[in-house]
């Protein structure tokens, strides 16, 4: 029994205590929510960084095209040697006549030694072969070249029978599973099969393109997919993606992967694959209600046309269609001037004189990128076609074409379409992206296809009586994403695409009700055990590393930009000006003020000493001795382009190019990039790179000279 | 006036506005200067503010459209947020205050709070705290061996990530 006042005191005390506890809880919550918000901001910034760098790379593809077209327009070859050299850049994708192809990519003469412990395939394939392959690849074994080639031959034979648009019905095999981009990430395919089951008569699959490039096991994925395609032809459907294209493969790693894994027969394998890719169907229709295409649609997409065109003529969608030249013995006087063609002795219908080089109206200035891009895309096709006409190009197996690329092709029982129109149909299907705004405009970021709005989607769905579209082509954080009011579904199956922990992969299942069910996954055990903070930090680190590399590659331009804000030459600028200057040079559209704490560590009174900041960046890149000249920076910045060009020149994929070839390449490249370099300058550069002095440049030597080769290769 | 200390007031405001616009754009999915109203909290907090949920609702009332569309336009958000940053509203929580808060919940003064205690305080007291938030907090705060939150360690782990990058 206590006195009244002590009861009151107790009561007051406990009241205060719970009040304190309440206040404390609120405080902690406030602080915690702020922490989470910061994490979210970091996560989004990281994503932005990766995307902007990825799309900037794809913009490089445009630059490559600009380069080629600039070449055609302004470079006058001074000798037949140089002419050959240029023409070779375009011929690398020639298609063979059927018999020639069989002969060149013959596999029967390839002996499989007894010591070979990998899977042995025999045709027709059986489910056991598939399981053997899966097991072998899990054990990191390699399939013998003979079986690879054999498989590719059989795949091609099968694909030739398929229509451009495959049809799948859910009534036969209750559910259809649609997978998006895999990009050589075999672990993701294994995960999908593990979670969803292997393809079988009761399990249909649609793989929506981009099986190859970027990841290191593109070939294994192809082998597995083609194997299942042949075993279960009714249940397995493959769509072509924009990466099923040798021009793209040259740049994004698939070509390299094949040559490294198959040093002796890689070239043959690549040749066969080229002739398999062009036979992949362009789209899949589920229950006549859901259209599955890799990229998207445009306001001119015409499914009737798509069904009828000869899809295999488009070996590379990037370079436009490959035409057969009927003039085998064309006398060429000059590439740049008008030429006279003489009809060949077979008396084929030819025009008595070739059209003069198609010249468009005055090219817009290069400073207006968007316009220039558009101009380039319009003219590059004409230029390339014209050039190809003039240099001797071997036969393809297609029927004869004698007219210029813009004359219409008369179909026996259908409308007239131009080659140009056919090409655009395929380009749009494979390269387009959806956008939130209405309308349809050119996709200048990727360099091909369109950005299509919800109205375009609506029109297509209405015209063909469809319910929704499924497409891939874009990485999504959760592995899938709806847009256009749930009428367009993006499905992306390569998890951890940018970096471990960056995103999930997903696949979608459709039953007869056509209601999508999603399964998400992430193919790396470590990713699961990390906390959200750790995961974000890891991905963030990787993004910033890439960003710092980009900054370093623009050192000279950055110094110039900073100096504009430092007229008094104090060596310092404000952080605000830093942000503006960096964006003006890099043009990545990134939130630099948000990113600054990760990029600029030390400041004095809110001012940055920019020279020492750039020096710090350089030290990180470990190639400090090379940062002096702007020439080397240009090379460093353009190394992907250079690598691609080298690969095109190195036709036998030997990894070697001669001094002469290098000299030519460099001359062309530098005239396009407006770099002054005398012949002596080039020679010095060349000699300094030939480390083993054997008169050939191993282009790995070249890349290594600038620390460009990733050690992991 | 140029020079190290010579940033005039206009310069400060301009810089703040740029910062706010950048943060806004990170959450602007469609590139049309609109963000989902549910993201406003993240934007405000990532700019260095520590509002309570109640304070956030007040803010939203000021920036939402008259007929709520579910979106907030940059036009309305910018002036409101600029004032908040200039006035230094929703001040940050210093480390020692945070420590005292945890200590207030730790009756026995043992240096840690059990999982159950934390869950109870977060979900039954303070402002509404979702299950998801609770789970996420526990995943980084909980020491799996003791099943408790050693708050000193937790605070130092989290504080390291904080960098105050507002213009002074």
Cβ atoms A181, A494 nearer than 8 A? yes
pLDDT digits (tens, 9 = 90+) for A62-85: 555 555 555 555 545 555 555 555
Average per-residue pLDDT for chain B? 82
Q: What is the pLDDT of residue B122?
A: 87
Of A689, A531, A241, A407, residue with least CA distance to B161? A531
Cβ atoms A282, A211 nearer than 8 A? no
CA separation for the pair B70, A637 (Å, rounded): 43
Which of B4, B23, B92 lies at the smallest CB-CB distance from A607? B4
Q: What percent of chain B has pLDDT over 70?
A: 88
Q: What percent of chain A has pLDDT over 70?
A: 65
Question: Which whole number is the average pLDDT over A357-362?
Answer: 40
B-chain residues near A608 (CB < 8 A): none
Cβ atoms A557, A585 nearer than 8 A? yes
- The most confident of the ranges A28-42, A596-610, A626-640 is A28-42
Q: State how far the alpha carbon of A588 is from the alpha carbons of A55, A92, A407, in Å.
A: 9, 33, 41
Q: What is the pLDDT of residue B5?
A: 43
Mutation target to probe the B interface, by most B beta carbons within 10 A, among A13, A21, A527, A530 is A21
Kindly state whether B143 is in contact with chain A, defined as any CB-CB distance less than 8 angstroms.
no
Q: Using alpha carbons only, give the angle A683, A685, A688 rounded to the nearest 5 degrees.
A: 105
pLDDT band at B66 (very low <50, low <70, confident <90, very high): confident
- The most confident of the ranges A114-128, A394-408, A440-454 is A114-128
Mutation target to probe the B interface, by most B beta carbons within 10 A, among A16, A23, A29 is A29
Higher model confidence: residue A290 or residue A397?
A290
A-chain residues near B108 (CB < 8 A): none
Distance, CA of B112 to chain centre? 24
Q: What percent of chain A has pLDDT over 90?
A: 35
Domains of chain B plus CATH, in order, are 9-87 (1.10.238.10), 95-158 (1.10.238.10)
Q: What is the pLDDT of residue A190?
A: 95
pLDDT band at A52 (very low <50, low <70, confident <90, very high): confident
CA separation for the pair A706, A703 (Å, rounded): 5
Known catalytic residues of A?
243
Rounded to a whole number of angstroms, the distance between the first and last alpha carbons of chain A is: 83
Q: What is the pLDDT of residue A314?
A: 81
Question: Which whole number is the average pLDDT over A394-421?
Answer: 40
Interface of chain A toward chain B, CB-CB under 8 angstroms: 20-38, 40-41, 44-45, 48, 436-437, 531-533, 568, 572, 574, 576, 579, 591-594, 596-597, 604-607
Kindly identify which residue of chain A lies nearest to residue B103, measuring between CA atoms. A24
Kindly state whether B36 is in contact with chain A, defined as any CB-CB distance less than 8 angstroms.
no
- The most confident of the ranges A110-119, A192-201, A363-372, B117-126 is A192-201
Distance from CA of B63 to the nearest CA of A (A): 19
Residue A201 main-chain phi, psi, to 5 deg = -60, -20
Q: State how far the alpha carbon of A26 is from the alpha carbons of A21, A39, B123, in Å.
A: 9, 20, 11
Kindly state whether B113 is in contact with chain A, defined as any CB-CB distance less than 8 angstroms.
no
pLDDT band at A677 (very low <50, low <70, confident <90, very high): low
Cβ atoms A657, A259 nearer than 8 A? no
How many CB atoms sit inside 10 A of residue A304's CB? 9
pLDDT digits (tens, 9 = 90+) for A519-540: 999 887 555 556 667 777 777 8
Q: State how far the alpha carbon of A96 is from the alpha carbons of A102, A126, A394, A652, in Å.
A: 9, 30, 8, 16
Q: Is B101's CB within 8 Å of A23's CB? A: yes
User: Domain residue spans in chain A?
Assistant: 98-321+417-527, 627-712
Q: What is the pLDDT of residue A130?
A: 95
A-chain residues near B19 (CB < 8 A): 593-594
A98-321+417-527 CATH fold: Purple Acid Phosphatase; chain A, domain 2 (3.60.21)
- The most confident of the ranges A21-25, A507-511, A564-568 is A507-511
pLDDT digits (tens, 9 = 90+) for A574-592: 888 999 999 998 888 889 9
**Which residues touch A298 (CB under 8 Å, ≥6 apart)?**
A424, A428, A432, A440, A449, A450, A452, A456
Q: Is A25's CB within 8 Å of B22's CB? A: no
User: What is the CB-side half-sphere exposure of residue B54 using CA atoms within 13 A?
Assistant: 4
Q: Is B122's CB within 8 Å of A28's CB? A: yes
Q: What is the pLDDT of residue A59?
A: 59
B-chain residues near A439 (CB < 8 A): none
Cβ atoms A146, A112 nearer than 8 A? yes
Which of A25, A34, A45 lies at the smallest CB-CB distance from B50? A34
Question: Which whole number is the average pLDDT over B41-68?
Answer: 88
Q: What is the pLDDT of residue A518?
A: 95
Examine the pLDDT at A340 and tell me if it is beyond 80: no
- The most confident of the ranges A323-332, A624-633, B12-21 is B12-21
CA separation for the pair A158, A230 (Å, rounded): 7
Alpha-carbon dihedral sign for residues A68, A72, A73, A79: positive
Higher model confidence: residue A180 or residue A364?
A180
Mean pLDDT is lowest, of A337-351, A449-463, A576-590, A675-689, for A337-351
Examine the pLDDT at A222 and tell me if it is beyond 60: yes
CA separation for the pair A310, A397 (Å, rounded): 13
Rounded to a whole number of angstroms, the distance between the first and last alpha carbons of chain B is: 17
Residue A673 main-chain phi, psi, to 5 deg = -85, 5
Question: Which whole number is the average pLDDT over A610-616?
Answer: 87
A627-712 CATH fold: Recoverin; domain 1 (1.10.238)
Strand-pair category, A607-609 with A572-574: antiparallel
pLDDT band at B162 (very low <50, low <70, confident <90, very high): low
Q: What is the pLDDT of residue B70?
A: 82
Distance from CA of A109 to the nearest CA of B (A): 57
Q: What is the pLDDT of residue A362?
A: 42
ipTM reported for the complex, 2 dp: 0.86
Token pair in block for residue A532: 């959200």
pLDDT digits (tens, 9 = 90+) for A377-388: 444 444 444 444
Q: What is the pLDDT of residue A563?
A: 92
């Amino acid at each position: 029994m206590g006195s009244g006042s002590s009861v009151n005191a107790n009561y007051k005390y406990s009241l205060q205590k719970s009040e304190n506890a309440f206040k404390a809880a609120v405080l902690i919550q406030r602080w915690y929510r702020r922490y989470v918000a910061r994490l979210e901001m970091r996560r989004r910034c990281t994503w932005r960084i990766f995307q902007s760098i990825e799309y900037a790379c794809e913009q490089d593809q445009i630059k490559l095209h600009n380069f080629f077209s600039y070449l055609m327009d302004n470079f006058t070859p001074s000798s037949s040697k140089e002419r050959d050299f240029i023409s070779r850049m375009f011929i690398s994708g020639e298609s063979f006549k059927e018999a020639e192809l069989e002969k060149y990519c013959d596999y029967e003469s390839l002996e499989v030694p007894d010591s070979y412990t990998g899977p042995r395939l025999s045709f027709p394939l059986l489910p056991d072969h598939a399981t053997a392959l899966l097991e072998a690849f899990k054990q990191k074994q390699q399939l013998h070249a003979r079986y690879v080639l054999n498989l590719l031959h059989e795949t091609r034979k099968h694909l030739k029978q398929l229509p451009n648009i495959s049809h799948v019905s859910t009534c036969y095999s209750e559910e259809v599973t649609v997978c998006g981009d895999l990009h050589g990430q075999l672990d993701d395919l294994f995960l999908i099969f593990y979670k969803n089951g292997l393809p079988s008569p009761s399990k249909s699959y649609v793989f929506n393109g981009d099986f190859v490039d970027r990841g290191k096991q593109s070939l294994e994925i192809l082998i597995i997919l083609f194997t299942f395609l042949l075993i279960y032809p009714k249940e397995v459907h493959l769509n072509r993606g924009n990466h099923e294209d040798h021009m793209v493969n040259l740049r994004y790693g698939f070509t390299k992967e094949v040559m490294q894994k198959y040093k002796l027969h890689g070239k043959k394998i690549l040749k066969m694959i080229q002739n398999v890719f062009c036979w992949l169907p362009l789209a899949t229709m589920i229950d006549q209600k859901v259209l599955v295409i890799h990229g998207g649609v445009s306001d001119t997409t015409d499914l009737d046309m798509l069904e009828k065109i000869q899809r295999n003529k488009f070996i590379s969608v990037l370079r436009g269609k490959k035409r057969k030249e009927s003039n085998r013995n064309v006398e060429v006087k000059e590439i740049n001037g008008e030429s006279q063609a003489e009809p060949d002795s077979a008396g084929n219908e030819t025009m008595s004189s070739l059209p003069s080089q198609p010249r468009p109206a005055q090219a817009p200035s290069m400073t207006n990128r968007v316009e220039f891009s558009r101009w380039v895309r319009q003219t590059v096709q004409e230029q390339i076609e014209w050039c190809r006409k003039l240099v001797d190009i071997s036969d393809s197996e297609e029927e004869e074409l004698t007219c210029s690329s813009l004359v219409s092709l008369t179909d026996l029982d259908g409308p007239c379409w131009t080659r140009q129109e056919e090409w655009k149909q395929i380009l749009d299907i494979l390269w387009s992206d959806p956008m939130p705004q209405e309308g349809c405009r050119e996709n200048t970021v990727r360099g091909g296809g369109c950005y299509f709005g919800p109205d375009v989607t609506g029109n297509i769905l209405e015209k063909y009586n469809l319910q929704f579209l499924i497409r891939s082509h874009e990485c999504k954080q959760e592995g899938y994403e709806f847009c256009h009011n749930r009428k367009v579904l993006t499905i992306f199956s390569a998890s951890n695409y940018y970096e471990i922990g960056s995103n999930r992969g997903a696949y979608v299942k459709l039953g007869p009700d056509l209601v999508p069910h999603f399964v998400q996954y992430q193919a790396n055990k470590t990713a699961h055990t990390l906390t959200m903070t750790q995961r974000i930090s890891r991905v963030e680190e990787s993004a910033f590393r890439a960003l710092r590399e980009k900054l370093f590659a623009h050192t000279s331009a950055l110094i110039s930009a900073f100096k504009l804000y430092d007229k008094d030459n104090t060596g310092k600028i404000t952080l605000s000006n830093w942000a503006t200057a960096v964006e003006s040079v890099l043009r990545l559209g990134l939130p630099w003020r948000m990113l600054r704490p990760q990029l600029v560590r030390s400041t004095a009174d809110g001012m940055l000493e920019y020279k020492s900041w750039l020096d710090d960046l350089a030290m990180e890149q470990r190639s400090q001795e090379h940062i002096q000249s702007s020439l080397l920076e240009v090379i460093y910045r353009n190394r992907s382009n250079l690598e691609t060009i080298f690969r095109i020149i190195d036709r036998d994929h030997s990894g070697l190019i001669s001094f002469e070839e290098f000299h030519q390449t460099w001359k062309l490249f530098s005239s396009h990039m407006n770099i002054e370099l005398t012949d002596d300058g080039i020679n010095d550069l060349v000699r300094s790179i030939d480390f083993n002095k054997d008169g050939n440049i191993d282009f790995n030597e070249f890349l290594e000279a600038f620390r460009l080769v990733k050690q992991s290769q | 006036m140029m020079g190290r200390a010579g940033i005039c007031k206009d310069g400060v405001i301009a810089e703040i506005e740029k910062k706010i616009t950048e943060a806004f754009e990170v959450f602007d999915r469609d590139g049309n200067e609109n963000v989902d109203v549910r993201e406003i909290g993240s934007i405000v907090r990532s700019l260095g503010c520590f509002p309570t949920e109640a304070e956030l609702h007040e803010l939203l009332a000021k920036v939402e459209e008259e007929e709520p569309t579910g979106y907030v336009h940059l036009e309305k958000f910018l002036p409101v947020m600029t004032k908040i940053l200039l006035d230094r509203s929703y001040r940050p929580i210093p480390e020692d205050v945070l420590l005292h808060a945890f200590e207030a919940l730790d009756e026995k003064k043992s240096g840690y709070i059990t999982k159950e205690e934390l869950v109870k305080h977060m979900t039954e007291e303070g402002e509404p705290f979702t299950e998801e938030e609770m789970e996420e907090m526990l995943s980084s705060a909980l020491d799996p061996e003791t099943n408790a939150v050693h708050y000193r360690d937790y605070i130092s782990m989290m504080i390291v990530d904080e960098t105050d990058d507002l213009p002074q």
